[in-house]
Amino acid sequence: MKEFAIIEHYFKQKTLSRPDVTLGIGDDCALLNMPQHQLLALSIDTLVEGLHFPVTTSAYDIGYKSLAVNLSDLAAMGAEPAWFTLALTMPKADENWLQEFSQGLFQLAQEYNLQLIGGDTTRGPLTITIQIHGFIPEKHALRRSGAKAGDRIYVSGFLGDAGLGLQIALGKIKVKADDEAYLLQRLNRPNPRVKLGLLLRNFATSAIDISDGLLADLEHILIASEVGATIRTLLIPLSDELKRNTSADEALHLALTAGDDYELCFTVPSEKEEELLTALKKENITCYCIGEITQENVLVLQDYKNDLSVKLGFEQF
């Protein structure tokens, strides 16, 4: 298939239409309407075959995850999703692959009312770049720089599952079939915490999504906020599937360093904690307090035996 036939058949026909898009796919630029008194939140992520996902990953899962990781960035800022662009580089125009890829992509796009507004296709090593746009009311954006001493540190769900899922996908470990399905799901189809991000506008002093590992990403908050933290490692939430298939030390190490979980890590003032927990319960969202922010610029891990000089999370270089 030729480039414009690919765009028309697999992407233009499948995207929804939002009233704030005057012109989407099909011209040199998209024409968009920004709502009044809203900030535009914009993020971009690139996924490369063999680096960000194994070569055995299904096209459906690649499409799904490519958008999910961008949605996770919006969630970390408290933004409401709106539009995205797609730059797709692939070695050949495989129609079966394109069909599955677009199905995974648009399943998530439909769920979050996202319109594909443009992009590019080209030939080369399999690479997916998505730029996503969302809205945040003025003065309500969540940032990394607002944490204060005494704030409670929370995470939104189980950590370490995706790290073990990656080992399964790479053939490094064998687990029971039911556990394998769950752990691969956590790796390939992360749940972007958009609903939680919107709720946290009224509570959180800082937030970040856990893409490179809890320690690496929490460190970004600590540096930006010029504070330290104490983490009670025994409080870090671990799934039964993770605990059944690793030692206690390995499970904790994965939770702290593996990344790819795409949960949120956020801080909340102690005086707002009870109100937050009430709001979370009302929305049926489970989060876990794992420590607190401290004044000194030091990260303390209680009940953790391993050497902290090891790499703390995923790094590109």
What's the confidence (pLDDT) of residue 6? 85
Average pLDDT, the chain: 93
Q: Are residues 101 and 242 in the same domain?
A: no
- Separation of first and last alpha carbons in the chain: 36
Of 137, 167, 183, the position where a domain reaches its end is 137
Query: How far apart are alpha carbons 116 and 128 in whole angstroms?
Result: 14
Of 137, 164, 196, the position where a domain reaches its end is 137
3 state SS for 37-97: CEEEEEEEEEEEECCCECCCCCHHHHHHHHHHHHHHHHHHHCCEEEEEEEEEEECCCCHHH
Q: Are residues 27 and 110 in the same domain?
A: yes
Q: Are residues 129 and 192 in the same domain?
A: no
pLDDT digits (tens, 9 = 90+) for 47-102: 999 989 999 999 999 999 999 999 999 999 999 999 999 999 999 989 999 999 99
Region 176-190 average pLDDT = 96
Of 111, 137, 163, the position where a domain reaches its end is 137
- How many structural domains is the chain composed of? 2
Answer yes or no: is 315 within a domain. no
Q: What is the pTM of this model?
A: 0.93
Q: Are residues 295 and 159 in the same domain?
A: yes
Region 15-29 average pLDDT = 91
Answer yes or no: is 314 within a domain. no
Q: What is the CATH number of the domain that holds 244?
A: 3.90.650.10
Reply yes or no on whether the pLDDT at 313 is more than 90. Answer: no
Answer yes or no: is 145 within a domain. no
Answer yes or no: is 307 within a domain. no
Look up tokens 């063999």; give the residue. 50
pLDDT digits (tens, 9 = 90+) for 184-237: 999 999 999 999 999 999 999 999 999 999 999 999 999 999 999 999 999 999
Reply yes or no on whether the pLDDT at 317 is more than 50. Answer: no
Answer yes or no: is 101 within a domain. yes
Q: Are residues 163 and 98 in the same domain?
A: no
Q: Are residues 131 and 159 in the same domain?
A: no
Band of the pLDDT at 7, cuts 50, 70, 90?
confident
Q: Are residues 164 and 80 in the same domain?
A: no
Q: Are residues 253 and 129 in the same domain?
A: no
Look up tokens 């320690």; give the residue. 215
Answer yes or no: is 89 within a domain. yes
Q: Are residues 239 and 276 in the same domain?
A: yes
Band of the pLDDT at 12, cuts 50, 70, 90?
confident
Answer yes or no: is 269 within a domain. yes
Q: Are residues 204 and 250 in the same domain?
A: yes
Region 298-308 average pLDDT = 80
Give the range of the structural domain holding residue 298, as residue numbers without chain letter: 152-302
Reply yes or no on whether the pLDDT at 309 is more than 60. Answer: no
Answer yes or no: is 240 within a domain. yes
Q: Are residues 44 and 168 in the same domain?
A: no
Residue in 200, 112, 214, 201 with CA at minimum distance from that of residue 155: 214
Q: Are residues 159 and 293 in the same domain?
A: yes
Band of the pLDDT at 314, cuts 50, 70, 90?
very low
Q: What is the CATH number of the domain that holds 68?
A: 3.30.1330.10
Tokens (6 digits) for 109:
């796009």
CB-based contact 162:187 (threshold 8 Å)? yes
